[in-house]
Amino acid sequence: MSVIYALIPVAIIFVIIAVIVFFWAVKSNQFEDIEREGMRILLDDDEEQVNKKDNNGNHDK
């Protein structure tokens, strides 16, 4: 039961750190455009990869 006297201050410190990190993220615009990052995964880069393969010497000589 005496462990709870140590765990409560540690938990409060963790909560304070989490709140500070959250406000830092909001202040530095980390949550500004979260939709674009989700859509970036869905966009396909195959055309750029094909062009890179063609430029690496895969042409007929």
Q: Tell me the per-residue pLDDT of 3-52, one tens digit each, with 9 for 90 and over.
A: 999 999 999 999 999 999 999 999 998 888 878 877 888 887 766 666 66
In a domain? residue 15: yes
pLDDT at 59 over 60: no
Q: Are 40 and 33 in contact (CB under 8 A)?
A: no
Residue 45 falls inside a structural domain: yes
pLDDT of residue 3: 94
**Tally of domains in the chain:** 1
Give the model's pLDDT for residue 30.
Answer: 86
Amino acid at 33: D
Residue 60 lies in a domain: no
Q: Which domain holds residue 38?
A: 4-55
pLDDT at 45: 73
Is pLDDT larger for residue 39 or for residue 61? 39
Whole-number pLDDT of residue 10 = 98
Alpha helices for 3-45 (secondary structure H): 4-27, 34-42
